[in-house]
A and B are shown apart, each in its own frame.
Chain A
Amino acid sequence: GQSLEQPSEVTAVEGAIVQINCTYQTSGFYGLSWYQQHDGGAPTFLSYNALDGLEETGRFSSFLSRSDSYGYLLLQELQMKDSASYFCAVGRRAGNMLTFGGGTRLMVKP
């Protein structure tokens, strides 16, 4: 089977840094993706790690350790608009056939 664990809720203040962790147990692992979803909206792609290490895209970075079955999403210089749910997802083919975690609801406070 497949399972992904991430915290259900995180709260941080504007301008701060927050890290959202994800641990996984899967078969057929190709990589770890992160998606953002605002209330009532569709998931949108943030990042993908196929290899160990850190990927940086603007204020967002994502890290993967395949040996530890662990990854995280790092959000810097938090803005109010970053309040959303964040999902990690394991790809069982390159980038697709995704298995999603339960999501982490991030609340950014002034």
Chain B
Amino acid sequence: NAGVTQTPKFQVLKTGQSMTLQCAQDMNHEYMSWYRQDPGMGLRLIHYSVGAGITDQGEVPNGYNVSRSTTEDFPLRLLSAAPSQTSVYFCASSYDDSSSYEQYFGPGTRLTVT
């Protein structure tokens, strides 16, 4: 199993550009989520999905869109990049039941917006 994979690893955008961060998992997990981590801080939940076709907002959803057309993939779209979106973005997945507590994180995408 590859686990959770993210592409790209690094990205530089200009203000106003849009792009999609890719996330995929091969563990058949129902739950997937996107977090951002600013330097020296904890992770903040952007959006999450409890299954294909179902998404919802987290703590900091503004400026981001998500979709979940398959169990495996959960892309994050930046609509119009702003310098405040400079951050490290992590995708995570887990089973969505009361007996599973562990979230598996991807390696992250380091995004700089100039």
Contacts and interface: CB of A to CB of B under 8 A. Distances in A.
Contacts of B97: 94
Nearest to A50: B101
A87 interface: yes
Given A42-B90, A87-B42, A102-B41, A96 B96 contact: yes
A95 B101 contact: yes
Interface residues of A, number: 25
A95 B42 contact: no
B27 to A, nearest CB: 14
B43 A48 contact: no
A94 B102 contact: no
Interface residues of B, number: 27
B103 interface: yes
Main secondary structure of the interface of B (DSSP, over half): loop
Interface in A58-110: 87, 89, 91, 93-103
Interface stretch (B13-21, B68-76, B77-85, B105-113): B105-113
Contacts of B103: 33, 43, 45, 95-96, 98
Chain A contact residues, majority secondary structure: strand
Contacts of B35: 100
B102 A101 contact: no
Interface string B27-60: 0000101010000111111001000000000110
A48 B42 contact: no
A95 B102 contact: yes
Interface of A: 2, 4, 31, 33, 41-45, 48, 50, 87, 89, 91, 93-103
9 contacts: A41-B107, A42-B105, A43-B105, A94-B100, A94-B101, A95-B94, A97-B33, A97-B48, A100-B42
Interface of B: 31, 33, 35, 40-45, 48, 58-59, 90, 94, 96-108
